[in-house]
A and B are shown apart, each in its own frame.
Chain A
Amino acid sequence: MTAPPPSVWTTLQILGSSTDFQTKVYRNDTAGLYLWVSYVEPMVDMEFVARSIFPYLFHCPFSSLEEIHRALPIDDAYDPNNVKEKLLEGYLFIRLHETDETGLLVKAQKTLERALTVPEVEFSVVGPKESFIESLETNLFLLRKRIPIDRLTVKMTTVGTLSKTKVAVVYIDGIANPDNVQTVLQRIEEVEFDEIIDSSYIVQIISDNRHSPFPQLLDTERPDRVAAVLAEGKVAIMVDGSPHVLIGPTTLVEFFSSFEDYFLNWTVASFFRLIRLFSVTFSILITPMYVATLNYHYELIPKDLLGTLITSRREIPFPPILEVLFLELTIELLREAGARLPTKVGQTIGIVGGIVIGTASVEAGLTSNVLLILVALAALASFTTPVYKIGNTIRLMRFPFILFAEIWGLLGVAFCFCIIVTHLLYLTSLGRPFLSPLYPPRWRDLKDALARLPFTSQSKRPETLRTEQPIRFDGKKAKQKRDIDE
């Protein structure tokens, strides 16, 4: 049995079962016509309608809908599916007779959105402080004003059978590699889901390796970051209703670079990047090393430290592994609780949890003070990652290391490291290797990976993206030198 052909009448019937769907009849005295106006009330900005649309509709002389169409910016309403969509978006559907199948659609959407604010997750001390909001139009506005060229291409699609979320794929035609663009478009087309709430849903569905804890697409809420990476040749995915925009293809090193690095001088920025890398390594490895050393390798500890460690552990009834797990879980508990509590209570609990519980457990002899310092430092170090998602991954990764350190000591740590490296080697982002520019080694891209070299030396676009136009600007001119006293 085939479905009945879509028709406007059926749409209006279905919609009519909702109380907030209105169909009203108005009479235009001047033209002597009746106008049937249908709309979904919560979506329509009645004030705008009453102020701008109705006066024209009800008082101007016109004899047919075509005339109005020529005068006002109105959409066609010949496709019943289009009518359904637009009605639900907040358009007015105007017909001349109750049973007409065609009419006019007038845009009268309510636009209620958050004001532009500072970015919460990627705050930077210097530099622009605009951040994306939930509305796709405003986001596109923020982006287009930073790249006002004709080649900035926006391709819109809809995903989600229930949510009908608008997704915009943005790239610069002539710079971005067409394969990348094609991959993105194709994967978004293939999304099978009912309610897409946020861009992170899209990430999880279109990622190359869904089972990996490592994120494969970068998400950002800064329009300036998106503009910068589009200029490099990447592809951006914007989702209506989400202030986070996805960028791909991406690599592991990008997750450790904060956009603020580009606003600082390159020596300072490189130094901070190296500190970040070091702190991440420290954060992952310090607790497993503690477990490994105390369990198996007491000979590694320098003599002066030996006394401190032994006295700190003397009263503890638990083996090091339980101590470590207890403290790690406490920190995670504090973090989760702090994230859920309302602001005012959250601060108090944070202080109570952090200081009181910590000190008290040391005094009670449940944990050692040395370990408390290490775990706290490690937790702090894991928050230095500029991208929130990779911070979570790092905290998660600590646990397999701890487990392997418990079984095989230092050998276990080395073994777990091998596993993680292998896993990273498998990952791809939109088909491009995730560990680039480390492997496969791309020397040109290393200029912006572990350290950031000055802009004048970055005159070519990253190799991994295989862009169509690799040269950004004339490197030679940028580096012009003069002799002394010339």
Chain B
Amino acid sequence: MASVAERLQVSPFMTFFIIMSMQIGIGVLGFQRIIAETAGHDAWISVLLAGASSHLILILIYWLLQQADGDFVLLHQRLFGRWVGGVLSLLLVLYFAIIPFVVLNTYIEVVQVWMFPDLKTWEFSLALFLLCLYITFGGFRIVVGICFFFLIIPSYLVFTFWFVLDYSDFYQLLPIFDHSPSAILKAAKQMTLTMLGYETVLFFYPFIKGGKQSAKWAHAAVLTTTLFYTLLTILTLAYFSENQLQRQIWPTLMMWKVVELPFIERFEYIGIANWLLIILPNICLGLWCSSRICKQLFSIRQKMALLVITTICFFCTLWIDDRAEIDFANTILNRAGFYFLYIWIPCLAGITYIVKKVRGNV
């Protein structure tokens, strides 16, 4: 049982912020195009479906956490033995370690296309990873603080979508359910990458005071994210015509181009700068989770694991930096997330249930 000293724990209310800030990352900038390609103007239904399924998986996750006493790595070991369980957990380390550099690379790409074409990847990446090290070295409480602030401060961006209404035609969303259910489901599957984030609860659960109470906050977070994404999808579908949407790589950024405040003309620059605040928790949580699993697997100091993982991520941002490779990494992440959440977790739950029946406890 991985128990954590009480002074290092945070209140269950924070679960809301951790999960929501992990879910909202770089996917938000461009997910609409992908799901609209499959499900057309019914894509918002796919978002709702993806959200609903996330709730179900979250319930399974909490049940598993109850069975495992909060220690997921130990669960793997107990069910599959030390070596196979270790390999499974190692896969998770890789999963969480891919997130930082995929997120960062995508962000740097956005910055290079939209703001500074001659921004050198390596130096921004270096600065950012140094900052993330500074954050993660402070421990989980500081990471949660970052999640909290950098969800609340950029939340004003939601109001900027008001300006989009002037140029939106909501009749473009009609008729509802004009696409086949299989298309809508397929789009829901594509949506999972953007909804990823709540799986981190498997690893920070011991850090929450009164673990079980956090379930309601976790569900609240997933619900809010789902609603937010749905609204954004609806707005996007009304703002762009279908074919036009297909030609936008980052529809959300394009929507910001039309925002005009009395003292600021081109809002997308401020949006992109604020986006740094939104992706920072993603990177830090990814680093923290993967180093924490490393600590539990290999019994090394978490600081050491952090340094190693961060250095590897940094070099990855240098080598994997053209559009095709980043897309490939994104796809891998999407697939990995999907299999982990929608295939592995239910299987694991099933296995745990059976083992529990047979053995009496895990």
Contacts and interface: CB of A to CB of B under 8 A. Distances in A.
Is chain B in direct contact with chain A in the complex (CB below 8 A)? yes
A425 B134 CA distance: 11
A414 B277 CA distance: 7
Contacts of B148: 439, 441
A411 B145 contact: no
Interface in A407-435: 408-411, 413-415, 417-419, 421-422, 425-426, 435
Contacts, number: 80
B146 A413 contact: no
Nearest to A443: B13
A300 B276 contact: no
Contacts of A418: 131, 146, 150, 276-277, 280
A408 B131 contact: no
Given A409-B116, A439-B148, A419 B274 contact: no
Contacts of B127: 415
A73 interface: no
Contacts of B269: 297, 299-300, 410
Given A411-B111, A418-B276, A422-B135, A302 B265 contact: yes
A419 B277 CA distance: 11
B145 A439 contact: yes
Interface residues of A, number: 27
A263 interface: no
Given A411-B272, A425-B142, A426-B142, A419 B131 contact: yes
Interface in B31-57: none
A415 B265 contact: no
A408 B116 CA distance: 9
Contact of A422 (B116, B124, B131): B131
B59 interface: no
Interface string A424-466: 0110000000010011110000000000000000000000000
A445 B103 CA distance: 36
A422 B13 contact: no
Contacts of A413: 273
Given A297-B269, A425-B142, A415 B276 contact: yes
B263 interface: yes
Contacts of A297: 266, 269
B264 interface: yes
A409 B115 contact: yes
A426 B135 CA distance: 9
A296 interface: yes
Given A300-B270, A417-B277, A422-B142, 20 more contacts: A300-B264, A300-B265, A302-B263, A302-B264, A303-B265, A409-B116, A410-B273, A411-B116, A411-B272, A414-B274, A414-B276, A415-B276, A418-B131, A418-B150, A418-B276, A418-B280, A422-B134, A422-B138, A425-B138, A441-B13
9 A-B pairs with least C-beta separation: A410-B273, A414-B273, A425-B145, A299-B266, A414-B276, A425-B142, A439-B145, A422-B135, A411-B273
Interface of B: 10-11, 13-14, 111, 115-116, 119, 124, 127-128, 131, 134-135, 138, 141-142, 145-146, 148-150, 262-266, 269-270, 272-274, 276-277, 280
23 contacts: A297-B269, A302-B264, A305-B263, A408-B116, A408-B124, A410-B270, A410-B272, A411-B273, A413-B273, A414-B273, A415-B131, A418-B277, A421-B145, A422-B131, A422-B135, A422-B138, A425-B141, A426-B138, A426-B142, A439-B148, A439-B149, A440-B11, A441-B148
